[in-house]
A and B are shown apart, each in its own frame.
Chain A
Amino acid sequence: MKSLRRRFTVWLLVATMVLAITAGASLYLYLREAMLQQFDAGLTAKIQAIASLLRVEIDGSYAMDFSDESMPEYLPGRNAEFFQIVLPGRATLQRSASLKGRDLVPETLARAGRHAWDMKLPDGKPGRAMARLAYAQPEDDDEDNSHKPAAGRVPSAAPLLIVVARSRSDIDRVLAALLTALIVAAVVLIAAGILVVRFVVGQALRPVNDLAERARSIGPENLNFRFDVAALPEELQPICQRLNNLLERLDEAFSRERRLNSDIAHELRTPIAELRSLTEVACRWPLSSAEAEGYFRDAHEIALKMGSLIETLFALARSPVDPQQIQRATVPLVPLFKRTLSHFQAEISARELSVSLSIPEDAEIKTDPPMFARLIENLLVNAVVYATTGGSIECVVEQISDGCIIKIGNNTDSLKPVDLPRMFEPFWRKDPARTGDAHSGLGLALVTEYAKRLGISVTADLRSPNWFQVTLRPISPKTQGKTVKNDRLPVSLNLQ
């Protein structure tokens, strides 16, 4: 039974039925007991009335002042009652005329000592009888002390057994009517309970149904949907809060995936489109030598661009290397920076950039020299290409106990804080049109990959709205494992 609605309905109905039956049965038994007690009290009064008529004669014999006229209920008739007085010797002192000479009490029952019991009356009707021991009053005793041996009573005066019985048809009729009423009430209650339970369960589960409906409507096309947590019942709020968090992460992952697919599509399809268009046009019409030269030059540039792109993709796709297994050698930083910057001197001059190095002469780092050189080269080429024209580039190295902190910063007039978490994604470019093919947006992704392999953390900051800085610091062995497992490098936002 996996449906909450069905489960609630069944259990509530079962509970309602059990409660209704229990309540009905309890009520019935309570009333039955009360009525029997009342009935028995009537029988007791009858016994007392009969006992008051008994007396002990002077000679020790028993006598009874009884006449049918004074107690007509004991005469034979439709609703006749019965009594029998048994002497200690088990002989009958007196019996009601309604008994017509028969015994009221089977001997076994009298001997069992039960005071009240159900029985079949001599006239065949169901009845109830009661037996009590009573003492007859002495002849001269005026006081009513029939139930106790009075002072001065003759020693031979033993208690007499008085048995009375009467029909219980009235009480049985009332009890049968009560039972019928209770059964009808229980059936009506259960039928009403089904309707009420279904309505109540439906109402109670409506927020859950709404939630399920809304959750069912979520698909890749509307991952920006969020549940209105405040409007939900408090039991559902933690679930929906978690779902919202999950949707947010999913939305972000889907967006990243879409961006990546779109960027890859552009980076890979555009050069193929260029080459295809170039060759198809060239094959379709005869070319002049000048046209042919231009076409070949374009085709060559496309080949170079695609070659470079594929090499970078291979570098990114290579299986990760454990930082502990890197072959390390000492790399002096000043010569490395100067040598790398000299490769971009023409671009630095063309863009009128000023470059400042604040690196201690003896600063060095133990790392894989070729990989670290490619990492620094990618960061510097990024700074040279994207620094504001006429701006500056700063390279700062601070020595610490377990290595160096390297900061490479440049002026920027286009980066926003929202760009920082995305800029390490493969193929990310600030320019949404991705114009020009000198860069494909893989530089920082490559930096991330190299840093991961070298055990270096990379963070990007906007120290001010116009100053972008990348910081490299060694990862301590304690946190190294965590960083290597994490695909996305920590990015801090520091807008001052």
Chain B
Amino acid sequence: MRLLLVEDSDRLRRSLVDGLQKSGYAVDAAADGEEGLHLASTESYDVLILDIMLPKINGLELLQKLRNRGKTVHVLLLTARDAVPDRVAGLRAGADDYLIKPFAFEELVARVEALIRRQHQSKQPCIRIGDLEINTSARILTRSSIPIALAPREYALLEFLVMRRGQVVSRTEIEAHLYDMEADLMSNVVDSAICALRRKIDRAGAPSLIHTRRGMGYIVDEEDG
């Protein structure tokens, strides 16, 4: 999943980007409203984490401009202001959630996950495909009740495919949602990642859960339809 963090505090931005990347997200960051608006308008993100008090364009103004441009990305507002009118103003400007500083990093991640689930219209944190079970809250993957360890990026790839179960996901979409702008992408990076993922989740002799649609992309489902 790909996130955009717009925060003007260097130290907070650095630690959040670091933590979110280590949690398996592809994260782009902007230090002011202008840059944030540009990235949010031109790139595709699953969730936008937005500070309100920003230089150049403040967070609420950015949000309104984004909504006026028809962007429906889920937005989580970060702010030090906890007064009810501030929260109401944020939600009315088009935000989906509101988090007051200081916050627990774990809570931020949980709220981001909830917004991602909402984006994919899934309320259940547990998703089952055959005997494969993914707990998106605990980030635990099991097959036939046997835990499978995945690297953060592998987990993010599987979660992205599972969230769009039954739909063909193109390589370009996978690149856009799993890798941030600073990632050095080689032409076969997605194929290599899929191959590594298959090795970890598929069982010997059983059909793979990740099916290739030649020239189109990949699809996750119980059976290859």
A→B interface (CB under 8 Å)? 221, 258, 261-262, 265-266, 268-270, 272-278, 280-281, 284-285, 291, 294-295, 298, 301-302, 431-435, 437
**At the interface, yes or no: B58 with Cβ under 8 Å from chain A?**
yes
Given B11, B16, B85, which contacts A298 in the complex, CB threshold below 8 Å? B11
Question: In the docked arrangement, what's the CA distance between A487 and B101, Å?
Answer: 31
Which residues on B sit within 8 Å (CB–CB) of A278? 11, 15
- Residue of A221, A269, A284 near B102 (CB, 8 A) is A269
CB contact under 8 A between A266 and B103, given known A281-B18, A432-B58: no
Q: Mark B7-41, 1 if CB is under 8 A from A, else 0.
A: 01101101110110010000000001000000000
Chain A residue numbers with a CB within 8 Å of B102 are: 269, 272-273, 275-277
The docked-state distance in angstroms from the alpha carbon of A270 to that of B22 is: 22
Residues of A within 8 A of B9 (CB): 270, 273-274, 435, 437
Residues from 75 to 96 in B contacting A, C-beta threshold 8 Å: 80-83, 85-86
Known interface pairs A261-B83, A280-B19; A433-B8 also in contact (CB < 8 Å)? yes
- CB <8 Å contact, B16 and A277: yes
Query: B22 is contacted by which of A258, A268, A284, A437 (Cβ under 8 Å)?
Result: A284
Nearest CB on B from A372, distance (A): 35
Q: Which one, A221, A268, A302, A433, contacts B11 given CB within 8 A?
A: A302
Contacts A272-B102, A432-B53, A433-B55; is A281 near B15 (CB within 8 Å)? yes
Residues of B within 8 A of A262 (CB): 80-81, 83, 86
Cα distance A17–B8 when bound, in Å?
A: 78
Complex CA distance for A285 and B151, rounded to whole angstroms: 13
Q: How far apart sit A178 and B102, CA to CA, in the bound complex (Å)?
A: 90
A-B pairs with beta carbons under 8 Å apart, 23 shown = A258-B83, A261-B83, A262-B81, A269-B101, A270-B9, A273-B101, A273-B103, A274-B9, A274-B12, A276-B105, A277-B19, A277-B103, A277-B105, A278-B11, A281-B19, A285-B19, A285-B22, A298-B11, A433-B32, A433-B54, A433-B58, A434-B53, A435-B9
List, in ascending order, chain A residues with CB within 8 A of B19's CB.
Answer: 277, 280-281, 284-285
Roughly how many angstroms separate A221 CA and B85 CA in the complex, as a whole number? 9
Which residues of A are found within 8 Å of B82, using beta-carbon distances?
265
Contact of B146 with A by CB under 8 A: no
CA distance A294 to B18 in the complex (A): 12
Residue of A nearest to B100 (CB): A269
The distance from the CB of A487 to the nearest CB of chain B, in whole angstroms, is 23
Most chain A beta-carbon contacts within 10 A, residue among B8, B53, B58, B106: B53
* Cβ-closest chain A residue relative to B22: A285
Residue of chain B at shortest CB distance from A269: B80
**Cα of A435 to Cα of B7 in the assembled complex, Å:** 10
Separation of A278 and B11 alpha carbons in the complex (Å): 8
Q: Known contacts A276-B104, A302-B11, A434-B53; can you find 12 more A-B pairs with CB under 8 A?
A: A265-B81, A265-B82, A266-B81, A273-B9, A280-B106, A281-B22, A284-B19, A298-B14, A298-B15, A431-B55, A432-B53, A435-B8
Expressed in whole angstroms, the Cα–Cα distance for A301 and B54 within the complex equals 21
Chain A CB within 10 A, most for which of B18, B32, B56, B104:
B18
- The CA of A295 and the CA of B101, in the complex, are separated in Å by 19
Residues of B with C-beta under 8 A to A435: 8-9, 32, 54-55
Residues of A within 8 A of B56 (CB): 433
Distance, CA A422 to CA B21, complexed state (A): 42
Binary per-residue interface labels of chain B (38-61) against chain A in the complex, 1 for a CB within 8 Å, 0 otherwise: 000000000000000111101000
Q: Is the interface of B mostly helix, strand, loop or mixed?
A: loop
In the complex, A288→B100 CA distance in Å?
30
What is the interface size of chain B, counting residues whose CB is below 8 A from a CB of the partner?
29
Contacts of A276 in B (CB 8 A): 102-105
CB-defined contacts of A280 to chain B, threshold 8 Å = 19, 104-106
- Are A273 and B80 in touch, CB under 8 angstroms? yes
Chain A: CB-nearest residue to B51: A433
Report A-chain residues with C-beta under 8 Å of the C-beta of B101: 269-270, 272-273
Query: In the bound complex, what is the Cα–Cα distance between A434 and B14 (angstroms)?
Result: 18
Beyond A258-B83, A265-B82, A433-B8, whether A284 also contacts B105 by CB under 8 A is yes
A474 to B55: give the CA distance in the assembly, Å: 39
A435 to B19, CA, bound (A): 22
Q: In the complex, which of the residues B16, B80, B105 contacts A266, with contact meaning CB atoms closer than 8 Å?
A: B80
Instruction: Report whether A433 and B105 are in contact in the complex, using a CB–CB cutoff of 8 Å.
Output: no
> CA–CA, A269 to B8, complex, Å?
14
| Contacting residues, chain A, for B100 (C-beta < 8 A) | 269
Q: Are A277 and B8 in contact (CB under 8 A)?
A: no
* Complex Cα–Cα for A302 and B81 (A): 20
A-B pairs, 10 with minimum CB distance: A281-B19, A273-B101, A273-B102, A269-B80, A280-B105, A272-B102, A433-B55, A266-B80, A265-B80, A277-B15
Q: How far is the CB of B66 from chain A (nearest CB, A)?
A: 18
Contacting pair A270 B15 (CB below 8 A): no
Give the docked Cα–Cα distance between A153 and B55 (Å). Answer: 133
Question: Please, how many angstroms separate the alpha-carbon atoms of A294 and B86 in the complex?
Answer: 34
Contacts of A277 in B (CB 8 A): 12, 15-16, 19, 102-103, 105
Give the complex CA separation of A262 and B101 in angstroms.
12
Expressed in whole angstroms, the Cα–Cα distance for A374 and B186 within the complex equals 59
CA distance A280 to B104 in the complex (A): 8
CB distance from A174 to the nearest CB of B (A): 79
